A and B are shown apart, each in its own frame.
Chain A
């Protein structure tokens, strides 16, 4: 299908995801480098460590994101996206990216290596699929290309079956969400068990009854990634892990746990980089005000946004992956204490997902109309919407405004699908809105379905 309503950059990202396996199109060669000599190939006891399509190459994305700042006013993101394919033809793309941004990529590759080190030391057996690791394709879901996502998910399911993968451990909370929540929605018999790194680490630390010794005093804070905390409800594990590291003075930011604040990613760094940066600065200031010397988190996109945010404000505060902190402490020393069973709660703060009968425009329309008609326009969802906050409450790019615009588009008001799509794409998918809506609308997922509708409906001119 020729997709014409979507912006060039989304086209670029989705084609790369499907054809090359990562959003920027860096390619498998650089993607698997981090694991060389560290892990064996193929599943061990049905289990793999899954790097996903973000961590291994996030430093390149970070570099490109910094570049958009430099090019501000000279060139917009969509024109930039047109250069990508030309560079690929010239075969200078990946080489260029590595030369320019290889250094940026180190902390992300280290995070993966550290995660493997930690898991191994806790007695977890696993291996890695290297070039054969199929990308989760979550970017297709993010951008509303749901038919393509479904097709892709089927392919991944088959790949896992062929390779005998039954259990996946990953460091990436966005991938965890895709495998745990979206795949079962789009596939009939998805039965792969997917665990996030912190779930296993917290459980094993408790079972073994150990403490880790950092070997120095440090004031730290933790940024809960929205996918991990709000969507998956994983909060207790990270706090437990932090409490088991000796030497830390832990400082909680005002917005934390399931009420975490957005770091500005959610796909926005590609579609509207300037807005993404603005949102990240809001969070950066909040994290800095905790007085922490170091910020830790558990999501490649959050690391990127917070690193560039701290940098933009001229702060030296280092942002790193929680896995790297655990690894460092583990290398310094392990203190044996009494094993304990700890109960980690699973938080459920989001409403049930809306489900269309199919992905056909008519069925999408039916779902969207029914749901958005229930919206009371009370604006509770707007209060914490990070985009509305960053844009002085501009209604058309707020949570409530998006509900109104989706409704207008489906009803056939004279709004252009491209214009609606543009406003739907200026959403970081943080799901604050879904958490707050008194009516119980899953606003964030409706926005994704709204994107799909704008793309696939005949009205969209596809």
Chain B
């Protein structure tokens, strides 16, 4: 089980959180007029990397706020958690 640091509440067990999948996916501003292929890219296509992954978490059984995390999908190491709107951290090299 992961130990996740909520930017507001501090380190808590994964059981308190809900995973919201890939982060930093912006809804197309002009959604009515983009092509079906572009809409599919927004709605369905995911990077799903084997490596560093930006993802969203919700502290469902805590402060109930959303935040972002930079986590490695092969080692599960969480390098950073940060509030929405914060600059996203660079993945370690």
- B is a partner of A: no
